[in-house]
Amino acid sequence: MGTKKKIGILGASGYTGAELVRLLLRHPKVEIVLLTADRKAGLPLGEVFPQFAPYDLPRLVSIDEVDWATAALDLVFCALPHATTQKVLKDLIAKAPDTKVVDLSADFRLEDPAAYAKWYGHDHHAPELQKEAVYGLVEVYRRDIKKARLVANPGCYTSCAQLPLIPLLKAKAIEPDEIVVDAKSGVTGAGRSVKEEMLFTEVSEGFHAYGVGHHRHMSELDQEFSKAAGKPVVVSFTPHLLPMNRGLLSTIYVRGRRGKTAQDLHEILTKAYAQEAFVHVLPFGKTPQTRHVRGSNMTCIGVVADRIEGRAILVSVLDNMTKGASGQAVQNMNLMLGFAETTGIDQPAMFP
């Protein structure tokens, strides 16, 4: 066990924390040595997540108890709420500059301090780290991630929209001003926070949109789409809540540019992802289902011609807990620690 890398998870009592534990328990190159959860400090993880009761894992501690310098962690996953994150990571990196970090919050995803201030209503508390942070969508920023100390793991909605759209925007194959992203997510995307609107009775057997016209994830989309297109891109985006646990599907309406047909778009995507382990482009005309990526780190993308000349419909799916959060975080870790990219996250989806 001596040669395994030492890993910490901050915020292990939340769902993305649990998903990290699930994946890392079978990862052959790492060992979980630290688990924090402030309100549950002192408990074994198995009391918070009974599925881990049979496993040998460290007890939950509070972040204040941790001495980052002596802990000498190789890498920390930070799954803390917004704002807390900035303070904790600033402190951690100051005290243990050799510890690498994959942050699962939204706090380090925006590059532009002004954009951050606009969407979050206050200045960033760790602007130097914000500058240093690398946006962790592996398929786009693989090279930078390999050298990064701090990686900002992308959001689930944005990953699911970016993977089909970035190559098309880069290729200038679609009109950047006519993109509609209609997104639907399972409930785990909301985390474990205890709110009336997340009760079983309020969520099951029904469906609704939320944050219509003004969802925070839009800032992340704007940033990445604009970089890909080389000009400001603003898309219509609506998130919806599905009565199910895991899975995210985006239906994306685009218009081809300069004569590009739906089949051309399909070809661009097929080529772009030919070598990717975690992006699967379906045959032209086929569209994917969320259940077929459940629990896996796979993203599936389908391209169909709309019946309106010149338009195409893209459908992309991923598991918001895995490729949309913790799986992607492990993918980032693998790059940052020099492991093969698919280590520990190559399990097939669980269906049914």
Closest separation in Å from C-beta 93 to a copy of itself: 30
Let me know: does 8 contact 34? Beta carbons within 8 Å: yes
Subset of 108-127 contacting a copy of itself (CB under 8 A): none
Subset of 55-74 contacting a copy of itself (CB under 8 A): 55
Let me know: does 345 contact 293? Beta carbons within 8 Å: no
Under the criterion CB under 8 A, does residue 41 sit at the interface with a copy of itself? no
Length of the chain: 352
Among residues 10, 12, 17, 22, which is the contact residue for a copy of itself, using CB under 8 A? 22
Give the nearer residue to a copy of itself in terms of CB position, either 108 or 116.
116
Subset of 240-279 contacting a copy of itself (CB under 8 A): 240, 242-247, 249, 251, 253
Let me know: does 133 contact 97? Beta carbons within 8 Å: no
Let me know: does 96 contact 121? Beta carbons within 8 Å: no
Q: Tell me whether residue 78 is one of the annotated catalytic residues.
A: no
CA gyration radius, the chain: 20
Among residues 162, 296, 326, 331, which is the contact residue for a copy of itself, using CB under 8 A? 296
Among residues 164, 295, 324, 327, which is the contact residue for a copy of itself, using CB under 8 A? 295
Show the tokens assigned to 324. Answer: 């949309």
How far apart are alpha carbons 56 and 66 in whole angstroms? 20
How far apart are alpha carbons 222 and 215 in whole angstroms? 12
Among residues 306, 310, 337, 343, which is the contact residue for a copy of itself, using CB under 8 A? 306
Give the nearer residue to a copy of itself in terms of CB position, either 152 or 317.
317
Site string for a copy of itself, 171-210 (x = CB under 8 A): -------x-x-x-x-xxx-x-x-xxx-xxxxxxxxxxxxx
Under the criterion CB under 8 A, does residue 226 sit at the interface with a copy of itself? no
How far apart are alpha carbons 169 and 186 in whole angstroms? 27
Closest separation in Å from C-beta 304 to a copy of itself: 4
Let me know: does 183 contact 206? Beta carbons within 8 Å: no
Per CB under 8 A, the segment of 21-29, 90-98, 122-130, 326-334 that binds a copy of itself is 21-29
User: Any residues with CB less than 8 A from the CB of 263 and at least 6 apart, and which?
Assistant: 284, 303, 305
**Catalytic residue positions, numbered:** 156
